[in-house]
Chains A and B, each alone.
Chain A
Amino acid sequence: MRRSLVALAVATATAWLWAGAAQQAAAQGQRGALPRTADGKPDLSGIWQVVNTAHYDIEPHSAQEGVPGGLGVVEGDAIPYQPWAAEKKRENLQNRASLDPLGKCFLPGVPRVTYLPFPFQIAQTEKYIAIAYEFAHTVRIIYTDGSPHPGPLDFWMGDSRGRWEGDTLVVDTTHFNGRTWLDMAGNFHSDALRVTERYTPVEGGHVMNYEVTLEDPKVFTRPWKMSMPIYRRAEKNLQLIDYDCVDFFWQDLFRKK
């Protein structure tokens, strides 16, 4: 008698556990559960793209011919320029056809590279997160191995060292050469720029919330932030198709000769 009661108790407990597991399994199918890598981090590998008008102008702007209007991605709407820098921005805007470094096929810098109207592909491993951008085959390697920034060198794309804070990838980028812009509207920075990006996957890993803090004591009066979603591209068998800006530069040059 006792044995059959014990058996019944075990069977009931087992059934209850299985039901719980089935519920959890159902929850796995919902958009809340993020795909994860073997080391337990959210898996950001894949192809992503921003859809907004930040690449034209990160501040709120009306439509112009050839330029769609945008709400802006700058928190507080206005970039806090020092007075000399606000004047420099106006100069840049006026002469953007010749001054925009992207127009010469120079590397776009950070964070501009993220919100260019081109996709990018992430390969995430435990120690390195490589990001290949379709524009000008730009590459960033984010070191998540705890290694420090290098010595006195400067780069167009800066030097990126990352770490995970819960499910957010936090990337600290310094060592800029100050020669890149933030958009096509002449918004700029110096070589003192420090960028802190926070990539937080949401919606079952289909979207990342992208928040960026910019600090540059030579140009801005205080740190400021921009934010926007980044969308995972859904097409099957998608791959980056190289936008080889330098090749176009040379073809253009030969045509004019």
Chain B
Amino acid sequence: MNAGILRSSRVAAIVVFAVSPWVFASAQAPDAKPAAGRQADGPKFTPGRTPDGQPDISGMWLPGGSGKPMETPSGKPWTPPPGYDPGTNSAYTFFPPTDNSRPAVRDRRPMVVNPADGKIPLQPWAAARREEIIANQEKAEYLDPRVRCLQSALPRANLPVFYNSYQILQIPGYVVVLYEWNHMSRFIPLDGRPHLSPSIRLPMGDSRGRWEGNTLVVDVTNFTDRTWVVGHGAPPEGAPASSLTTGHGVFHSEALRVVERFTLVDKDTISYEATIEDPKVFTRPWTVSFDAFLRAPADHQLFEYACHEGNGKNILLMTGVDIEK
């Protein structure tokens, strides 16, 4: 054997061994992950496969990203007036982590990554309408549709709230996402069929999926216009919309289109990106990105979340209608 080759392969071996502890460290220690949540610096993770050959993202998942605000406020931070009583919602204004098994993610960068300033690009009329919505939350017609137990649009359904978790199943031709909150479900067909007729509108829209390598890309159209696009945590009562970091009050028209990308970046993390377009409401498409799904403990199960059934007191308070009678 040629001595020159032996020497260079020994050098190559030393380089490999020097690099690998760093590579393994970044793959195994969640705290060491870059704050955006992507395994940008680690080795590319290769997921297992389902029996029908899809990258395997199935399992039980907990909400990720609960340390992150949605947006940079469009206006000034809000200072409560003297004597302000934050009420019972104050605990949730600052996005407490929902998952006790991991160190809290204290990443304060907004989920909105595009535009780069993190501000949701509302058209002026829509920003004014948002102010009106947020200022009138005590009226049932303006109230957050989620509080009325209406289904969440997208990407809102995938935003972290402590009373939610997810289950993903995969069967030939479909990815199925089950949401614990309000028992929502999405059967995402992978067979390239066209979208529904525009005459059919759905609160969670109409999803069409395809795999691009290890990323599930889902195109969602045919939304109704009675939901909010985003909104997690809880806005302080009385704060104007321009001061919010939570995304509440961001409504949409039926022109809404959302393109989602789900990527299993390590065995316990699905990174999520959603690009939102609605030419009637926003000045341009915008994108949110964060690690939305964190692998749940092995014995986790989704429990029934009977939202409307348990909402009787709120409904009575807001409308005088007694559904318990």
Residues of A within 8 A of B (CB): 37-38, 45, 98, 104-107, 121, 123-125, 128, 130, 132, 137-139, 141, 143, 147, 150, 153, 155-157, 179, 237, 239-242, 244, 246-247, 249-250, 253-254, 257
Contact = CB atoms under 8 A, between A and B. Distances in A.
Given A139-B183, A156-B306, A242 B203 contact: yes
Contacts of A139: 178, 183-185
Contact of B149 (A124, A128, A246): A246
B169 A128 contact: yes
A132 B185 contact: yes
Contacts of A38: 51-52
B150 A250 contact: yes
A179 B323 CA distance: 13
Given A105-B308, A156-B306, A242-B202, A130 B150 contact: no
Nearest to A129: B169
A132 B204 CA distance: 14
Contacts, number: 97
B169 A123 contact: yes
B308 A106 contact: yes
Interface in B150-203: 150-151, 167, 169-172, 174, 176, 178, 182-185, 187, 189, 193, 196, 200, 202-203
B141 interface: yes
B135 interface: no
Given A139-B183, A153-B303, A253 B308 contact: no
B161 to A, nearest CB: 18
Q: Is the interface of B mostly helix, strand, loop or mixed?
A: loop
Contacts of A150: 301, 303
Given A98-B325, A138-B183, A241-B196, 10 more contacts: A37-B51, A106-B308, A107-B306, A132-B176, A132-B187, A137-B184, A141-B301, A239-B196, A239-B206, A242-B151
A138 B183 CA distance: 6
Interface of B: 51-52, 58, 140-141, 148-151, 167, 169-172, 174, 176, 178, 182-185, 187, 189, 193, 196, 200, 202-204, 206, 226, 301-304, 306-309, 319, 321, 323, 325
18 contacts: A37-B51, A105-B308, A107-B304, A123-B171, A124-B171, A128-B167, A139-B178, A139-B184, A139-B185, A147-B301, A150-B301, A156-B304, A156-B306, A239-B196, A246-B307, A247-B226, A250-B150, A253-B319
Contact of A244 (B58, B150, B172, B185): B150
Given A124-B171, A130-B176, A253 B203 contact: no
A237 B306 contact: no
Nearest to B312: A104
A150 B202 CA distance: 34
A244 B205 CA distance: 13
Contacts of B183: 137-139
A252 B84 CA distance: 36
Contacts of B306: 106-107, 155-156
Closest 8 pairs (CB-CB, A-B): A38-B51, A155-B304, A139-B183, A132-B185, A123-B176, A246-B308, A237-B193, A123-B171
Nearest to B179: A139
Contacts of B167: 128, 130, 141
Given A123-B169, A123-B174, A137-B151, A107 B203 contact: no
A101 B309 CA distance: 10
A104 B304 CA distance: 18
A123 B176 CA distance: 8
Contacts of A240: 187
B269 to A, nearest CB: 21
Contact of B140 (A106, A137, A143, A254): A254
A141 B167 CA distance: 10
A153 B275 CA distance: 40
B309 A106 contact: yes
A64 B172 CA distance: 44
B202 A241 contact: yes
A104 B321 CA distance: 11
Given A125-B58, A130-B176, A139-B183, A249 B171 contact: no
Contacts of A157: 304
Contact of A121 (B148, B187, B202, B206): B187
B308 A45 contact: no
Nearest to A45: B171
B300 to A, nearest CB: 11
B221 to A, nearest CB: 13
Contacts of B151: 137, 242, 244
A137 B185 contact: yes
Contacts of A257: 319
A23 B274 CA distance: 52
Nearest to B308: A246
B309 A239 contact: no
Contacts of B189: 239
